[in-house]
Amino acid sequence: MTEQYEKATFAGGCFWCMVQPFDEQPGIKEVISGYTGGHKENPTYEEVCSETTGHYEAVQITFDPDVFPYKRLLELYWQQIDPTDPGGQFNDRGDSYRTAIFYHNEAQKEQAEASKQEVAKSGKFQKPIVTNIIPAGPFYKAEEKHQYYYKKNSFHYNMYKEGSGRARFIRENWKKVKSDEELRKELTPIQYEVTRKNGTEPPFQNEFWNHTEEGIYVDIVSGEPLFSSLDKYDAGCGWPSFTKPIRRSEIEENLDTSHGMRRIEVRSKTADSHLGHVFDDGPGPDGARYCINSAALRFVPKSKLAEEGYGEYVKLFK
């Protein structure tokens, strides 16, 4: 069956920060940075920043709705922004940095309005939700230097996202955080020791070290997808090993100097779970070996992906 792609257009402040969250999802063909909503044809970045064109900085996403539905795009969109700010986003001020959902058909409009109501009723924010829902119009692609900025200038991108206040806002308002008391009740002793106390389980004596079933491995705390069986291999170390995560945006890597060693620790971004470490002796093109504790993971088999809410990943195994 021929893939049927659709378009979604979102404004969320600086478009540099609105590409990576969508680009690393399954079913996404491309994410283009550009300008829309204004009156000037083919504006330049400088013109849009001068606040004389009426345009928003925005991203236009080409996606396969059978793999990653529009509703999931909306959920992900809200988690990148402060929807209560009418004057811009974080350190970026002005109309071009306002938030907006540009709908391409009536179905998108209905879903966008419903999702806005859900955010408003969630109790997460004390101020009104001011994100506009607007009919999509002409979309003008931004200059090439702005396309996929997070890949081309990763160091500056990460510094900017943190320095602007966006990264901190996302951590404080959108992370799925459970109390220590809740986690002690929900997790087994080894799961708690690994994820919350940076522990390490014994090699060759853990659940997934030689597990070969097809499916995905999710964070035991938050349920966020982390690794796929398609990227798993036997490294001979006694722990589950992967050549890459499903989405690098869900992984944080930090220098670990504990136990007199210098290693790169791997943590999940959403739940801040300790997962394991990454080394540079893997078989893939990047040379990465993600050595992960089974106790930090829950396995969702291919046959149950849709049933458990991970339907967008079914296509990975076809």
Cβ neighbour number for residue 213 with a 10 Å cutoff: 11
DSSP 196-223: HH---PPTTSSTTTT---SEEEEETTT-
Residue intervals of the chain classified under CATH 3.30.1060.10 are 6-174
Residue intervals of the chain classified under CATH 2.170.150.20 are 180-317
- Which of these, 206, 270, 268, 198, lies nearest to 238 by C-alpha position? 206
Q: Residue 160 pLDDT > 50, yes or no? A: yes
Q: What is the pLDDT of residues 22-72, one digit of tens each?
A: 997 888 999 999 999 999 999 999 999 999 999 999 999 999 998 889 999
Sequence-ordered strand ranges (E) for 13-137: 28-36, 56-63, 88-89, 92-93, 99-103, 132-135
| 6-174: in CATH 3.30.1060.10 | yes
Contacts of 259 (CB under 8 A, 6+ apart): none
163: DSSP letter: H
Q: What is the pLDDT of residues 198-255, one digit of tens each?
A: 999 999 999 999 999 999 999 999 888 999 999 999 999 999 999 999 988 788 888 8
Share of the chain above pLDDT 90, in %: 72
Tell me the catalytic residues. Answer: 14, 291
Q: What is the pLDDT of residues 3-31, one digit of tens each?
A: 689 999 999 999 999 999 999 788 899 99
Q: Residue 119 pLDDT > 50, yes or no? A: yes
Q: Residue 177 pLDDT > 70, yes or no? A: no
| pLDDT tier for residue 116 given thresholds of 50, 70 and 90 | very high
Contacts of 80 (CB under 8 A, 6+ apart): 12, 17, 18, 21, 166, 170
Whole-number average pLDDT of the chain: 92
* Encoded tokens for 216: 């995905």
Cβ neighbour number for residue 292 with a 10 Å cutoff: 27
Amino acid code (one letter) for 162: E
Span 180-317 CATH architecture: Beta Complex (2.170)
- On whether the CB atoms of residues 229 and 213 are closer than 8 A, the answer is yes
pLDDT at position 285: 82
131: DSSP letter: -
pLDDT at position 2: 41
Distance (Å, rounded) from C-alpha 129 to C-alpha 167? 20
Q: What is the pLDDT of residues 72-92, one digit of tens each?
A: 999 999 999 999 999 999 999
